[in-house]
Every structure is written in C-alpha cells, then in structure tokens.
Amino acid sequence: MITPNMHYADLKDSYLFYNIAQKTNRYLQDHPGTHLYRMGIGDVSLPLCDVVIKALHEAVDDQADKGRFHGYMPECGAPFLREAIARHYRGRGVDIADDEVFVSSGASDELGDILDLFDRGSSALVIEPAYPAYVDANVMAGRRIIHLPSGEDNGFLPEPCDEAKADIIYICSPNNPTGAVFNREQLGKWVDFANSNGSVILFDAAYEAFIEDETLPHSIFEIEGAKTCAIEICSLSKTAGFTGTRLGYTVIPKALVRSGMCLNEMWIRNRTTKTNGVSYIIQKGGAAVFTDEGQEQIQENIRVYKNNAKILTDALDEIGIWYCGGKNAPYIWLKCPGGMGSWEFFDYLLNEVQVVGTPGEGFGACGEGFFRFSTFGSPEDTKEAAERLKKLLS
Ligand code: PLP
C-alpha cells in the first residue's frame, strides 16, 4: 500500500478563519438581520483599475484573432511583463535583469513552490506572529522549523541572534499581521546574517505598495549584499486588486549561489518542468499595472484603504490603545485592552459592537493578547466600526 506524505499528520488544524466563521455565523443565527462590521478580511473590496480592465479586454480580443492569438506562454513569464517588472525595479534604483524576474500566479503559490529549491533536511526560521502558510508549507515538507517570537519590546521587528540561525529565513515586510516594516539598517543586519551563515532569505513583499515613508525599503534588493542571499516574492493581489485575478512575481538574482548551484538556473529548470506559464490575458492585465497610468490608478484604491487605516488608528489613539502598523501597511496590530486574551476580545467586540477582527493568537503563540484589524473593508463600515470602538472602549 502506498504511504502518503505522513508530515501532513503533523499539521495543526487551521482553526483561525474556521473559528471566526463559526462564531460569526452563530451570532447571525441568534441575531438575524444584524449587520457585522468586518474588519478581519484580508481580501480587497475595490475593483481592478480602468487601465487593467482595458488591457484585459484587449487581450481577450487578441485571443479571438488568428494573427494575435497566444497559446502556451513562456514558463518563466512573458518577456513583455518580465521586462516591465525589471524596469519598475530599475526605476527605484534596484538593478534587476529581466531574466531575474519570474512571473507567478500569486505569492501563495510561489511561497509553497519555491521550497523545491531547498533540501528537505534544511531548517526554516519563521519570525512570529506570521502569515500561517510559512509554517504549514514547511511542516508538509517535514522541515525543522525554528519559531522566533517578536513582541512589543522590539516593535515586532526582531534582530538576528544565535537562535535564529537557519537555512531558510522568512521575512515579511510590511508584515502581515503586525503591519511592522523593517528599516534599511534592520534589514541590513538580516542580510549580513544570512550571507555570513549561507542562509537564504525568502522576502515576502506582498504589501510593499503600502509603504509611504520614503526611508523604508520596498525591496530587499535595496540593501547591499541582498543579491547573494535573498529571493523576493511579490504579488499584485493587494497592490492592484488581483486577489481573484491572480498574478505575482518572484525575483531570484543570478548571484544567488549555494553549494555551486545557481538558484536562478534551478528555478528556470523547475518552472519549465512544473508549469506552462501564466495566462496571456492575465499577464497583459498585469503589465498595465506597471505603466505610468497604471501606477497612478492603483494608488486610488490604496488611498481608500489608507484612509480606512487612518480612521481606525485615530480611534485607537483617542482610546489610548497600543498598536503598530496601519501607516505603511494595510494591517493594524493592537494590544487587547484590559489584559484580555485574543479570543476573549474577539467575542467581546462581536457581542457588544458587532465588529469582527482577527485574534492575534492565530498567527503564532506570541500573538496572544493582540488583535489584527484589516483596512480592506468599506469606508462606511470602517467609520461606523471606529465610532463603535470609541464608544465601547473609551
Ligand atoms: N504573503 C502574505 C504575507 C499575505 O498576507 C498573502 C495574502 O494574504 C500572500 C502572501 C498571498 O498573496 P497572493 O494573493 O498573491 O497569493
């Protein structure tokens, strides 16, 4: 009889969003017709911008025309999109070659798939609280996971230390769930640490478009030495509303070499074996994001989410609750008032003011006592939620 991958038995039940759904459904059953103010969602609520929609329509028409039709796309991405993304990096002063960019169907897919590059005996460092997929993808592969807790004392931005020595290092900045962003100096320490230990940093930049402080790095490749130790994984999901359209990109510098193997070449071999590329239509839509017009238009939606963040953080300031994030990230990470636990606070907000957030404990043990608000909801709901929070907690 075949033996399945028994590491799946080591996965902890992903109860976070399941529990939230159970609790909110039960509340709605008991209180029919009640409107809930959902500040927990990690999905965007605004549609794709005009320039993207136009490009998608044109690409559909191309597929109807014998002369302009596209079949299989190059596995590593369409040259027009790889070139547009590399140019976007160069515009920010980061010298990336077109063939160091790989087009993907999104960051989630890539965060899982990229682990093919590493030996199963390698260890993985996860800075917690963290996006749950980092841990689960490595549990599935049977890897040893080192959990590095962070907290209020270091602003949820820990420094490298002996206990953090690992082969693979996950860094998510701006961070989900804390909204904290590493500055150049802090990120530089991780880059030096990875280079001196021969580790590889998997830098998740899914929220880079939300950075407004010009001194903060959008890309790890803005840091000297990163090309020899880092892979950057990006997504158009939150940047441009592609959560349901699906498009991302990954940068693997050719200078990233371990045990004589060039990881860029390995990834070409992987992609040409395991994918047949991303749809032509979607890549055309994605390329529109990197035009000047596209860059302006995506900011309109980001501005709406940022206004939501301001409404919520103003309310927290008024109440006097400790939080981080919200300024350079679409998440606000707050300390539950009165020493409440994460789930206790969840129940309290749901029952008293019908506001739904995400309990911090779901992102790792050190998230207990904290809570995440997302800013992707509607402005009307966000305003009302903020008023209700002020009334309840002031
Ligand atoms: N990385 C982080 C930190 C995320 O929060 C998310 C989605 O919420 C992803 C990656 C996945 O993004 P995508 O929609 O591109 O798969």
Ligand 1 pocket member 107 (CB < 6 A): yes
**Cβ–Cβ under 8 Å, residues 113 and 133:** no
Ligand 1 centroid to residue 107 C-alpha, Å:
5
Ligand 1 pocket member 106 (CB < 6 A): yes
Ligand 1 centroid to residue 243 C-alpha, Å:
9
Ligand 1 centroid to residue 193 C-alpha, Å:
25
Q: Are strands 355-356 and 144-149 parallel, antiparallel or unpaired?
A: unpaired
Ligand 1 centroid to residue 329 C-alpha, Å:
13
The yes-or-no verdict on residue 17 having pLDDT over 90 is no
| Model confidence band, residue 385 (pLDDT cutoffs 50, 70, 90) | very high
Q: What is the pLDDT of residue 322?
A: 97
Q: What is the pLDDT of residue 16?
A: 86
The yes-or-no verdict on residue 14 having pLDDT over 80 is no
Residue to substitute in 237, 249, 374 for testing ligand 1 pocket (most ligand atoms within 8 angstroms of CB): 237
| Model confidence band, residue 18 (pLDDT cutoffs 50, 70, 90) | confident
The yes-or-no verdict on residue 41 having pLDDT over 90 is no
In angstroms, the CA 225 to CA 51 distance is 36
Query: Percentage of the chain surpassing pLDDT 90?
Result: 97
| Model confidence band, residue 60 (pLDDT cutoffs 50, 70, 90) | very high
Ligand 1 centroid to residue 78 C-alpha, Å:
22
pLDDT for 225-281, tens place per residue?
Answer: 999 999 999 999 999 999 999 999 999 999 999 999 999 999 999 999 999 999 999
Atom of ligand 1 nearest to the CA of 104: 15
Ligand 1 pocket member 175 (CB < 6 A): no
Ligand 1 pocket member 188 (CB < 6 A): no
Ligand 1 centroid to residue 108 C-alpha, Å:
6
DSSP assignment of 130-145 equals: --THHHHHHHHTT-EE
Q: Is 379 helix (H, G, I), strand (E, B) or coil?
A: helix
Main-chain dihedrals φ then ψ at residue 104, nearest 5 degrees: -130, 175
Ligand 1 pocket member 112 (CB < 6 A): no
Question: For the ranges 14-28, 67-81, 186-200, which has the lowest average pLDDT?
Answer: 14-28
Ligand 1 centroid to residue 206 C-alpha, Å:
6
Residue of 104, 59, 100, 71 lying closest to 83 (CA atoms): 100
Ligand 1 pocket member 253 (CB < 6 A): no
- For atom 5 of ligand 1, the residue with the nearest CA is 176
Ligand 1 pocket member 243 (CB < 6 A): yes
Ligand 1 centroid to residue 175 C-alpha, Å:
11
Q: What is the pLDDT of residue 12?
A: 85
Ligand 1 centroid to residue 184 C-alpha, Å:
23
Rounded to whole angstroms, what are the CA distances from 334 to 41, 119, 268, 386? 16, 37, 42, 14
In angstroms, the CA 172 to CA 126 distance is 10
Residue to substitute in 45, 131, 178 for testing ligand 1 pocket (most ligand atoms within 8 angstroms of CB): 131
* Domains in the chain with CATH codes: 7-48+294-393 (3.90.1150.10), 50-290 (3.40.640.10)
Mean pLDDT of 374-390: 97
Rounded to whole angstroms, what are the CA distances from 339 to 313, 322, 342, 350? 20, 12, 9, 18
The yes-or-no verdict on residue 318 having pLDDT over 80 is yes
Ligand 1 centroid to residue 304 C-alpha, Å:
20
The yes-or-no verdict on residue 15 having pLDDT over 80 is no
Atom of ligand 1 nearest to the CA of 109: 16
- For atom 8 of ligand 1, the residue with the nearest CA is 42
Q: What is the pTM of this model?
A: 0.97
Ligand 1 centroid to residue 66 C-alpha, Å:
36
- DSSP-assigned beta bridge partners for residue 324: 333
Residue of 315, 301, 304 lying closest to 355 (CA atoms): 315
Residue to substitute in 108, 175, 236 for testing ligand 1 pocket (most ligand atoms within 8 angstroms of CB): 108
Residue of 261, 152, 250, 265 lying closest to 205 (CA atoms): 250
In angstroms, the CA 360 to CA 368 distance is 6
Residue of 348, 349, 308 lying closest to 326 (CA atoms): 308
Ligand 1 pocket member 42 (CB < 6 A): yes
**Cβ–Cβ under 8 Å, residues 359 and 132:** no
Q: Are strands 323-325 and 331-335 parallel, antiparallel or unpaired?
A: antiparallel
Mean pLDDT of 304-312: 98
In angstroms, the CA 83 to CA 373 distance is 36
Q: What is the pLDDT of residue 354?
A: 98
pLDDT for 140-177, tens place per residue?
Answer: 999 999 999 999 999 999 999 999 999 999 999 999 99
In angstroms, the CA 36 to CA 102 distance is 40
